[in-house]
Amino acid sequence: MRSMTLVDSWVQTCSVFNQPKTHYRSFNGLIYKPMNNPQFKPNFLKQTKPVSSFTISAIITREEETIDAEKDQESKDSSTLFNFKSYMVEKANIVNKALDDSVSVKNPPKIHEAMRYSLLAGGKRVRPMLCIAACELVGGHQSQAMPAACAVEMIHTMSLIHDDLPCMDNDDFRRGKPTNHKVFGEDVAVLAGDSLLAFAFEYIVTATTGVAPARVLAAVGELAKSIGTEGLVAGQVVDLASTGKADVELDQLEFIHLHKTAALLEASVVLGAILGGGAPEGVEKLRRFARCIGLLFQVVDDILDVTKSSEELGKTAGKDLVTDKVTYPKMMGLDKAREFAEKLNEDAKQQLSEFDPDKAAPLIALADYIAHRDN
């Protein structure tokens, strides 16, 4: 395997983030764009101009005035500071209530109990929050995106149930609880995942209100692409085929995680933007933002797997090392993996620079949360 510097890896990884401007005839044109486009070009060399400092004489002659101005600014900043913790609690509670209402226990009870067991087991609800925040950023209301937010969480839960199966990653704990197949058996766990996948599409179609049918159709197509052979499934297949191999390169690792992890995160953001009434240009900026944080999420996940305990993570720690899975810390080293995560976070937030700062605040905070989370 050839040696690769961190800059080389950034060139490869960030090559998907910058796409040429695309014009759409209808919102059907918003449906998922291929991840591996040779026309994409890296764009991580931008620098902000340094802020010039006061001269010594200016500081001396206007010391009191400067201090007063700084105090006024601090007061103003503190009054307008976005409270991310309150935002997360508020949105998580709303999403949890919506998820609870969406799947009830009915005949046959066992399969619905299995669906609810994993769907309502907790979790950070990052994907639903991204969906809602993107919707609100482009001027929509969270009610327009809530069914889609629930749908992406249903599909994410399906992927976790299946990922934990003995034939896949063979894990016993998820979100601090026994995995679905440990409680309900492998057969029911498989069917619970299948049921959540099917119901996600039913729910987004039947429960979405106040949105033009063309936008709902575009959202459905986006979601379907993100989890099929151009998305989650593709990443999972290549991941399984790469486990234990010594000749895996960074571009293959990028392919795995852009599909297995980032695709659904990307869909979460894009669905919210489409359903909220976003224009094509804005939707594509948010797509690039989501692609950055999607890969960021996995890089951080890889780092946490080797730096945190099972109790801290709520799932089995060190599993990647035991199963000899290819990860960013393994290929780049822990320090460079952390540097890479910070760069992805910077690039993600750069995509939001042209949006209203107040409306973009939740997405910026979510990017920082993903970059600096502890589990």
pLDDT tens digits for range 11-25:
343 333 344 433 333
Residues 227 and 155 sit within 8 Å (Cβ to Cβ): yes
Least confident of 48-57, 70-79, 329-338: 48-57
Predicted confidence band at 303 (pLDDT cuts at 50, 70, 90)?
A: very high
DSSP H stretches of helix in 81-212: 84-102, 109-119, 126-137, 142-163, 180-184, 186-207
Residues 245 and 231 sit within 8 Å (Cβ to Cβ): no
Predicted confidence band at 306 (pLDDT cuts at 50, 70, 90)?
A: confident
Fold of 83-372: Farnesyl Diphosphate Synthase (1.10.600)
Q: Supply the mean pLDDT for the chain.
A: 80
Q: What is the mean pLDDT of residues 196-209?
A: 97
User: CA–CA separation, 121 vs 175, rounded Å?
Assistant: 7
Which contacts (CB < 8 Å, 24+ apart) does range 35-42 have?
A: 35/230, 35/258, 35/259, 35/263, 35/291, 36/255, 40/15, 40/16, 41/15, 42/10, 42/11, 42/14, 42/15, 42/17, 42/18
Coil, strand, or helix at residue 321? helix
Closest alpha carbon to 223 in 164, 151, 168: 151
Closest alpha carbon to 150 in 109, 186, 188, 100: 100
Q: Residue 221 is inside which H or E element, if any?
A: helix 213-227
User: CA–CA separation, 144 vs 167, rounded Å?
Assistant: 38
* Predicted local confidence at residue 97, as pLDDT: 97
Region of residue 315 (phi > 0: left; psi between -120 and 50: alpha; otherwise: beta): beta
Q: What is the mean pLDDT of residues 104-117?
A: 96
Residues 335 and 294 sit within 8 Å (Cβ to Cβ): no
Domain map (residue ranges) of the chain: 83-372
For 132-155, the pLDDT digits (tens) are 999 999 999 999 999 999 999 999
Predicted confidence band at 99 (pLDDT cuts at 50, 70, 90)?
A: very high
Per-residue H/E/C for 266-333 = HHHHHHHHHHCCCCHHHHHHHHHHHHHHHHHHHHHHHHHHHHCCHHHHCCCCCHHHHCCCCCHHHHHC
- Give the rounded percent of residues in the chain with a pLDDT score beyond 90: 61
The residues facing 178 across adjacent strands are 173
pLDDT higher than 80, residue 52: no
User: CA–CA separation, 350 vs 358, rounded Å?
Assistant: 15
- pTM, whole model, 2 decimals? 0.75
The residues facing 177 across adjacent strands are 174
For 223-237, the pLDDT digits (tens) are 999 999 999 999 989
pLDDT higher than 50, residue 128: yes
